[in-house]
């Protein structure tokens, strides 16, 4: 009978990690639904970006209050999780605070964890206040209703509970309090329980211990459904993020081939296509659904933390237009999830559901409101590029559907005919030199 806790623990661990692995597999499969894109260039710049932006949080601190609080939560969370290692070993082998054999070092470690736990708790409370009491505008935009809003708060409650459990566990651990080393914070919590018998304390300590580790396992599995996925994906995402100048839009190779053919007077339009050339021509230009986007754009969608920094800097959004770059990312993720579920339900094959990203999620009104100003890509703390998705969808509208706004069609006709966006004569192009 004495091994029952160990066995239960092992089962919880296997289930928790097993489910997580299953979700990760699904995540990777969904991301791979995107088109291939070559990201093998600029390796050292990419490593540098990841180190600075994800590990070093360089973009987060651009907004100092949120930035500093986030650094605390981030550092706290990573470091406190070292403690999880001890919990797992204790849980599996029935030991108690195995690492305490380290002596003073243990006290220093746990002391640090306790301070961090308290700081994380306070930061998370401030985050909650910013969202729910101060009601920072960017958390109350129209795309932040329902699940996204609740999700943001759930995570904060989760972290509050986990930190509380950790501190209570230490406060009610009689041996640990007796050691009187490392209990920097919990010694002030211990008196709250002072009237209780040692056996009761033990029960509270054990409960806190179990809830803490189970909480972490639940949290791990919550990630897949949450904006909190960024704690993992921020790393690959900043690595694969854009390394070219922000103003540079990608070149459509397939178009290049066709334009070259059109412009080359020697090209034989009836010549048989080169071997293998057939499958290089994409089924369509631009994107109307998530499968037309490339996999980095889909990774972007899963990485988005819904912080709304992009939207709060977006000139279109600030002037009341429907466009919100955050919504572009959230829509992409929602549609990708829908496509993924469709594939699961249909034995691994996507069945046309009569829906697509364009129209059913993102409207043309949003797409045409973008000034391509790159404020969103500059603001994003995890190198997401909403603009590239907007452009890809405009490409579909224009090249596949000829569905540009009328004024833009006029502008493009002018360029085709006169080499300028206005209806002026090409031969007058140098007249400015003679006018005043």
Partner 1 sequence: MSEKLKVPTMAEYMAEGKQPEILFWVGSAGSYDDRAKKISRAFVKVLHKANVDFAVLGTEESNTGDVAKRAGNEFLFQMQAMTNIEILNAYEIKRIVTACPHSYNTLKNEYPQLGGVYEVLHHTQFIEELMSSGRLKLKSDSTLNGKRITFHDPCYLGRANEVYEAPRNLLKSLGVDLVEMKRNRSTALCCGAGGAQMFKEPEKGDKDINVLRTEDALKTNPSIIATGCPYCNTMMTDGVKAKERESDIKVFDIVEIIANSEEL
Q: Which residues bind ligand SF4 (CB under 6 A)?
A: 304-310, 313-316, 323, 325-326, 329, 370-376, 379-380, 382, 384, 386-387
d(CA 171, CA 213): 17
Q: Which is nearer to ligand SF4, 100 or 305 (CB)?
A: 305
Look at residue 376 and give the partner it binds from ligand SF4, partner 1, none, a contact being a CB closer than 5 to 8 Å depending on partner kind.
ligand SF4
Look at residue 306 and give the partner it binds from partner 1, ligand SF4, none, a contact being a CB closer than 5 to 8 Å depending on partner kind.
ligand SF4
Query: 216: how many CB neighbours lie within 10 A of its CB?
Result: 20
List the x/- string, 257-296, binding to partner 1 by CB under 8 A.
-xxx-xx---------------------xx----------
* Cα R_g (the chain), whole angstroms: 28
- Picking from 325, 332, 408, the residue whose alpha carbon sits closest to that of residue 374 is 325
Residues 318-347 that bind partner 1 (CB under 8 A): 318-323
Look at residue 308 and give the partner it binds from partner 1, ligand SF4, none, a contact being a CB closer than 5 to 8 Å depending on partner kind.
ligand SF4
Count of residues engaged in binding partner 1, rule: CB under 8 A = 70
Residues 201-260 that bind partner 1 (CB under 8 A): 244-249, 251-252, 255-256, 258-260
| Local structure of residue 435 (DSSP, 8 states) | -
Cα dist from 312 to 49, 86, 238, 327, 332, whole Å: 23, 42, 21, 12, 19
Q: Which is nearer to ligand SF4, 163 or 379 (CB)?
A: 379
Q: Quick one: three-class SS letters along 6-70?
A: HHHHHHHHHHHHHHHHHHHHHHHHHHCCCECCCCCCCHHHHHHHHHHHHHCCCCHHHCHHHHHHH
405 binds partner 1 (CB under 8 A): yes
d(CA 336, CA 339): 5
Please give the full DSSP string across 374-396, using - where no structure is assigned.
-HHHHH-TT---HHHHHHHHHHI
- Picking from 293, 233, 219, the residue whose alpha carbon sits closest to that of residue 27 is 233
Q: How far is the CB of 151 from ligand SF4 (least distance, A)?
A: 13
d(CA 130, CA 309): 14
Q: How far is the CB of 383 from ligand SF4 (least distance, A)?
A: 8
Q: How far is the CB of 419 from partner 1 (least distance, A)?
A: 3
70 binds partner 1 (CB under 8 A): no
Residues 6+ apart with CB under 8 A from 137: 312
Residues 134-163 that bind partner 1 (CB under 8 A): none
Q: What are the residue ranges of helices labelled H in 223-374?
A: 230-240, 253-263, 295-303, 309-313, 315-318, 325-345, 357-360, 364-368
Q: Which is nearer to ligand SF4, 288 or 300 (CB)?
A: 300
Q: How far is the CB of 307 from partner 1 (least distance, A)?
A: 16
d(CA 3, CA 190): 30
408 binds partner 1 (CB under 8 A): yes
List the x/- string, 289-318, binding to partner 1 by CB under 8 A.
------------------------x-xx-x
Chain positions contacting partner 1, by CB under 8 A: 244-249, 251-252, 255-256, 258-260, 262-263, 285-286, 313, 315-316, 318-323, 365, 368-375, 378-379, 391, 393-399, 404-405, 407-408, 410-412, 415-416, 419-422, 424, 426-436
């Amino acid at each position: 009978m004495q091994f029952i806790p160990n066995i239960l623990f092992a089962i919880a661990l296997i289930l928790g990690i097993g489910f997580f692995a299953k979700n990760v597999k699904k995540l990777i499969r969904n991301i791979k639904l995107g088109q291939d894109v070559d990201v093998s260039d600029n390796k050292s710049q990419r490593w540098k970006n990841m180190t600075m932006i994800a590990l070093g949080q360089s973009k987060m601190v651009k907004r100092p209050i949120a930035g500093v609080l986030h650094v605390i939560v981030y550092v706290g969370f990573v470091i406190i999780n070292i403690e999880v290692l001890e919990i797992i070993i204790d849980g599996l082998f029935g030991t108690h605070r195995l690492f305490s054999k380290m002596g003073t070092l243990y006290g220093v470690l746990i002391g640090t964890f306790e301070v961090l736990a308290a700081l994380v708790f306070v930061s998370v409370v401030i985050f909650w206040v910013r969202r729910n009491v101060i009601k920072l505008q960017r958390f109350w935009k129209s795309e932040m209703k329902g699940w996204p809003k609740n999700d943001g708060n759930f995570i904060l409650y989760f972290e509050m509970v986990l930190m509380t459990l950790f501190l209570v566990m230490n406060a009610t651990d009689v041996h640990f309090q007796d050691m009187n080393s490392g209990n920097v914070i919990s010694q002030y919590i211990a008196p709250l329980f002072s009237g209780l018998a040692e056996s009761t304390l033990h029960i509270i300590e054990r409960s806190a211990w179990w809830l803490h580790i189970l909480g972490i396992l639940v949290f791990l599995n919550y990630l897949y459904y949450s904006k909190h996925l960024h704690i993992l994906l921020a790393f690959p995402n900043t690595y694969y993020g854009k390394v070219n100048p922000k103003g540079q839009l990608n070149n459509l190779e397939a178009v290049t081939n066709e334009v070259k053919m059109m412009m080359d007077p020697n090209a034989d339009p009836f010549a048989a296509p080169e071997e293998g050339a057939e499958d290089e021509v994409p089924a369509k230009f631009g994107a109307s659904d998530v499968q037309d986007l490339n996999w980095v754009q889909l990774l972007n969608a899963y990485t988005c933390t819904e912080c709304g920094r992009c939207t709060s800097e977006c000139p279109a959004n600030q002037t009341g237009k429907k466009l919100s770059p955050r919504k572009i990312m959230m829509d992409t993720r929602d549609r990708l999830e829908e496509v993924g579920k469709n594939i699961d339900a249909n034995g691994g094959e996507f069945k046309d559901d009569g829906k697509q990203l364009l129209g059913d999620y993102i409207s043309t009104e949003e797409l045409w409101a973008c000034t391509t100003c790159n404020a969103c890509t500059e603001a994003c703390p995890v190198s997401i590029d909403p603009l590239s998705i907007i452009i890809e969808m405009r490409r579909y509208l224009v090249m596949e559907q000829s569905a540009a706004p009328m004024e833009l069609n006029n502008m493009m006709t002018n360029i085709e005919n006169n080499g300028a966006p206005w209806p002026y004569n090409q031969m007058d192009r140098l007249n400015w030199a003679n006018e005043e």
